[in-house]
Amino acid sequence: MKIAITAIAAILLVASTASLTYAEGVPAWVKNNAGWWADGTIAESEFISAIEFLIKDGIIVVPPTTVSSESAEGVPAWVKNSAGWWADGTISDGEFVNGIQHLIKTGLISVSSNTETPQMASEKPKSDDSKLAALESELEKCSEIKVGYKRIDCQKPLKKAITLYEHQTNAEKFEIGPITYYWYGIGSEGNEFEITPTGQPILSIRMLAENTSSEITAMHCTSPSICSYDVWDGTKAFKYSGMDFTSGEIVLNPGDSREFNILFGPNIGYGGTEFEYDPSKTYYFRINENFGSVDIPLELK
Neighbouring residues of 115: CB distance < 8 A, sequence distance ≥ 6? none
% of the chain surpassing 70 pLDDT: 70
Q: What distance in Å separates the CA atoms of residue 56 and residue 171, rounded to the nearest whole number?
A: 21
Q: Is 152 buried (19+), middle (13-18) or exposed (0-12) by CB count in 10 A?
A: middle
Reported in sequence order, the residue ranges of 106-254 that DSSP labels E, i.e. its strands, are 109-111, 172-176, 179-183, 192-195, 201-211, 217-223, 226-227, 229-232, 237-238, 242-243, 249-252
**Highest-scoring range by mean pLDDT, 73-82, 128-137, 233-242:** 233-242
16-30, 86-100, 185-199, 283-297, range with the lowest pLDDT: 16-30
Residue 260 has pLDDT above 60, yes or no: yes
Per DSSP, the three-state class of 250 is: strand
Residue 136's pLDDT band, with cuts at 50, 70 and 90, is confident
pTM, entire model: 0.59
215 or 19: whose pLDDT is higher?
Answer: 215
At 59 the pLDDT is 60
Give the DSSP H/E element, type plus range, for residue 44: helix 44-56
